[in-house]
Structure 1
Amino acid sequence: MTYERVVQGRLVTPDEVFDGYLGIQNGTIAAISREPLDGELLDVRGQLVFPGGIDAHVHVSSSELYPEGWTRLSQCALAGGVTTVIDMPYDAPQPTVNADLFRAKVGRLRQESLTDAALYGTIRKRGGVPEIAGMAKAGASAFKFSTYETDAQRFPRIPNDELLPALRELGRLGLPAVFHAEDGEIIDALIEQLRPRGEESPRLHAQSRPPVSEMAAVAGLLELSRTVTAEGFPVKLHIAHLTVPQGFHLLEQYRALGVDVSAETCIHYLTLNEDDLSEQGAPLKCNPPLRPAAMQEALWAEVLAGRVAFITTDHAPWPPELKDKPNIFDNRSGMPGLETMLPLLYSEGVVRRDLKLTEFARLTASGPADRFGLAHRKGRVQIGLDADLTILDPQASYTVRAAESYSIAHHSPYEGRTLSGKITHTLLRGAEVFDGEQVKARPGFAQFLTPEFA
């Protein structure tokens, strides 16, 4: 058989790594072989062929005036080897809280995005539970909630008496419930205390959101989930951007009690710490905050032990004018990450810490695909799945330059850092969408992904 495209390189499959050939037909992986295949050849011998990256935590439209937007965000993604994103529902001015808003967002995605994408839904602070079923029918892959109130309408804290029926409904539907887990009572009191000193040091932001503010929220969510699971509504609980290493051990204890729970961490918690926050200031402000260097290394231990479900970016870029205030508390929270997540994880994880290549693929592709119902199409170098591929040259290096980024942030926390390994090609459904220098895809190439759970 002659295939539309054949990729020759070092293939990273779920179970092994070997020199071989991929045959691509009609946008899917049609053959995997150790022997040559016929077709138009992309010869990347010596380079690693990973499944296309999946970032399960991005923010496309967090601001009306300064949105990254689908086109820019997906350009960032493809340049970084990410072929699928899952977008948060906290759009400005109106979050995605009903089926009509959800369907309208799907329409924008299809018109403007270059990457394939799935979407979260969410609910209003009060009275939103009846809307969950409609968004699920429209194709939501998961629902996102917060235990911390950033904004009463756009990013509210959902009280526990609303969360319990929401968790029951999601348990009934079989969709994940994803949480921003921080305790507002602890944090808001500390912010009130520390804000007057906010010009002294950016590190005060980290002090205002200590590890206990995460752990208290996570523990409460685990108990709520254990309760509804025992009632016969086995909810899939997922903790977003967990920074506290001991949190992953607490999750293991609740798994033993029957709770279906997972947690991600973000690439910036593995590659930056409080010292960097002190040095760079507001551009590194994020929630939860960067942690001390010792916790950063302990978090790596959780990754290497296999207790982290996957790694995300929480890509939430802001232009310089929203990150230049002298008081750290007056700046927006969030930073860019889509173009650097995979190169950073390869350089810091595989090269420096001996992270296995198959684990790299799990953390960046199959892990989120499995959790959010996308494994029927995405996440693995496997026959029958979409031919989404990230090709990385382990012998090349890559120096981060914000001026070369597609993001509106015009800043990178890693400016000038030279990484081991460079992405040379990104393929989405068999098409080369990034050639190592430029994104080649155009708006409208994206497909909206709906979940299928085993």
Structure 2
Amino acid sequence: MHDLLFKGCVVTAGSVIENGWVAVDGGRISRLGQGDAPPARHVEDHGDALILPGAIDAQVHSRSQKGQEDFVWSTRAAAAGGVTTIADMPYDDGFLVCTADNLRQKAREAGEQARVDFALWGTIAPDDGARHIPDIARAGACGFKFSTFGTDPVRFPRIPPDLLAACFEAVAKTGLVAGVHNEDDEMVRARIEAVTRSGITDWRAHGLSRPALAETLAMAQIYETGAATGCSAHVVHCSVARGYALCEAYRRQGFDTTVEACIHYLVLDEDNDVARLGGRAKINPPLRPRAEVEGIWNHLAAGNVTIVSTDHVSWSLARKSDPNMLKNASGVPGLDVLYPLLLTELSRRNLSPSHAARLLADNPARLFRLSAGKGGLAPGRDADITIARRETWRYDPAKSENVLTDWSPYAGRELNWRIAGTWLRGQQVFDGQTVLAAPGAGRFICPEQPSGLQ
């Protein structure tokens, strides 16, 4: 007699099991199968709906704008979107997570607010060099984030090539991953100056100021640095198909290189969406023409995309409404529609929902060294489960009680899948309408003991 049983179409990274079931005991998955189901004290029969692993969103910015979202709202949106773990970035407004003490403080504060589980990225302050990396890893960081472009000298600093190599050497000793924002600083700054001189200020300005070559130049540096230091090298977002080919080329050579496709690079494009939305669609790197979107989908179908994330940030609308495109804040929200967006696009392209299980759960867990407890529907793992049912609907953030902002680049978009429920370690945190989890329900999740830190 199991504690809990889910019945439906079970989706793993390798298969789709119709008339399947997942048994849960003590908050963990006990077994899964097909056909006649074992008895359980409570049965969740979802018919032909999809039973998916809870998603791990590898890139969330809960505190980029002070006094705006924080974990109490980001994790609420996550639960509503079928996301059961978020990995939060270290670039908090006024509080760079660049020491072990800062990481522990953020973990304590987030633990009081979080409704789903959370992991935390660490980083460095350039003046400190790499010296804090071992202690930050011991404090439980899931990885280390760096940038080849300086968005802000204090909150989001550029790490120059020699220092980046030293950081990669230090991260390699921890067994964790180094994730890098991939834009060449010198090229982007030169192009921004050129666009400013030209007088172009409308939606075209952003893409012109950050060309595709700026991304791929940075990616070559990142992967070469990983190859030279033996560090796991991860590019945290890529908007051009050429970048995925670069990653695959290094992987074929035997290097541990990975690459991430944010959901906006899979569903939005420059000509249609940036032209329509202006500052609301300003993202770094920029959204690209539709041909690049299709090129990324070709790489996804071929297995060359490692993970999909949101790069979620809920800027207030005032930060996204300047008629001068370059003056707007960069980034968009998306946690509450991550699964519906990806499942919709997969079904429209006749691709298996197993891609979603791999890109949103199995691979992110491997990336962060969390696979013992997180990452998919398998015995022994946490019973983090998302139910998605087929339904045609239009997304309207203004009508959702689960998100902070009433704007979204996906507003009005027709979706074919809706989240019917989310469970965290066997406890329901979203019922299809309302987030049930109270602040504090989520836990701080740390990697399984990285090598070099025993």
Q: Distance in 2 between matches of 1:238 and 1:86?
A: 14
In the alignment, which residue of structure 2 is the partner of 1:311?
308
AA matched with 1:28? R
Q: Distance in 1 between matches of 2:244 and 2:320?
A: 32
In the alignment, which residue of structure 1 is the partner of 2:212?
211
Between 142-151 and 357-366, the greater mean CA deviation after superposition: 357-366
Q: Distance in 1 between matches of 2:198 and 2:117?
A: 44
RMSD, matched Cα: 1.4
AA matched with 1:374? L
CA displacement 1:278-322 (0-9 Å, x = unmatched): 111000001000001111111111111110001000001211111
* Cα displacement (A) at 1:236: 0.5
* Cα displacement (A) at 1:13: 2.5
Q: Distance in 2 between matches of 1:367 and 1:446?
A: 21
**May I ask how many residue pairs the two structures share in their alignment?**
445
- The one of 343, 365, 368 equivalent to 2:364 is 368
- What TM-score results when the alignment is normalised by the length of structure 2? 0.95
SS of the counterpart of 2:215?
helix
AA matched with 2:192? I
SS of the counterpart of 1:340?
helix
Between 10-19 and 191-200, the greater mean CA deviation after superposition: 191-200
Between 119-128 and 146-155, the greater mean CA deviation after superposition: 119-128
The answer to whether the Cα contact below 8 Å between 1:318 and 1:408 also exists between their aligned partners in 2 is no
- The one of 42, 45, 63 equivalent to 2:44 is 42
SS of the counterpart of 1:347?
helix
Change (3 A) 1:23 1:250: same
* Cα displacement (A) at 1:252: 2.0
In the alignment, which residue of structure 2 is the partner of 1:3?
2
- The one of 257, 260, 267 equivalent to 1:261 is 257
- 1:443 pairs with 2:439: yes
Q: Distance in 1 between matches of 2:57 and 2:228?
A: 30
The answer to whether the Cα contact below 8 Å between 2:12 and 2:358 also exists between their aligned partners in 1 is no
The answer to whether the Cα contact below 8 Å between 1:183 and 1:214 also exists between their aligned partners in 2 is yes
Between 407-416 and 332-341, the greater mean CA deviation after superposition: 407-416
In the alignment, which residue of structure 1 is the partner of 2:274?
277
Change (3 A) 1:255 1:31: closer
- 1:97 pairs with 2:59: no
The answer to whether the Cα contact below 8 Å between 2:299 and 2:305 also exists between their aligned partners in 1 is yes
Alignment of 1:81-120 (within 5 A): 81-120=82-121
In the alignment, which residue of structure 1 is the partner of 2:124?
123
CA displacement 1:311-336 (0-9 Å, x = unmatched): 00000121111111111111111100
In the alignment, which residue of structure 1 is the partner of 2:355?
359
* Cα displacement (A) at 1:222: 1.7
In the alignment, which residue of structure 2 is the partner of 1:167?
168
Q: Distance in 2 between matches of 1:48 and 1:140?
A: 32
AA matched with 1:411? W
* Cα displacement (A) at 1:106: 0.7
- The one of 389, 397, 403 equivalent to 2:385 is 389
Q: Distance in 2 between matches of 1:335 and 1:33?
A: 39
Q: Distance in 2 between matches of 1:205 and 1:198?
A: 12
* Cα displacement (A) at 1:257: 3.2
SS of the counterpart of 1:8?
strand
Q: Distance in 1 between matches of 2:162 and 2:302?
A: 36
- Percentage identity across aligned positions? 39
* Cα displacement (A) at 1:16: 2.1
The answer to whether the Cα contact below 8 Å between 1:11 and 1:17 also exists between their aligned partners in 2 is yes
AA matched with 1:429? R
AA matched with 2:56? I
Q: Distance in 2 between matches of 1:363 and 1:212?
A: 26
* Cα displacement (A) at 1:212: 0.3
- The one of 406, 410, 433 equivalent to 1:414 is 410
In the alignment, which residue of structure 2 is the partner of 1:334?
331
AA matched with 1:436? G
In the alignment, which residue of structure 2 is the partner of 1:147?
148
- The one of 58, 64, 67 equivalent to 2:66 is 64
* Cα displacement (A) at 1:258: 3.1
* Cα displacement (A) at 1:198: 6.2
The answer to whether the Cα contact below 8 Å between 1:164 and 1:224 also exists between their aligned partners in 2 is yes
In the alignment, which residue of structure 2 is the partner of 1:191?
192
CA displacement 1:402-433 (0-9 Å, x = unmatched): 11343333211121222111110111110111
- What TM-score results when the alignment is normalised by the length of structure 1? 0.95
Change (3 A) 1:181 1:83: same
Change (3 A) 1:210 1:195: same
The answer to whether the Cα contact below 8 Å between 1:199 and 1:326 also exists between their aligned partners in 2 is no
The answer to whether the Cα contact below 8 Å between 2:312 and 2:332 also exists between their aligned partners in 1 is yes
SS of the counterpart of 1:281?
helix
In the alignment, which residue of structure 2 is the partner of 1:231?
none
AA matched with 2:32? I
Moved over 4 A (4+): 196-200
| Runs of 5+ unmatched residues, structure 1 | 229-233
* Cα displacement (A) at 1:199: 6.2
Q: Distance in 2 between matches of 1:33 and 1:223?
A: 44
SS of the counterpart of 2:132?
helix
The answer to whether the Cα contact below 8 Å between 1:85 and 1:116 also exists between their aligned partners in 2 is yes
SS of the counterpart of 1:242?
coil
| Runs of 5+ unmatched residues, structure 2 | none
In the alignment, which residue of structure 2 is the partner of 1:252?
248
* Cα displacement (A) at 1:196: 5.4
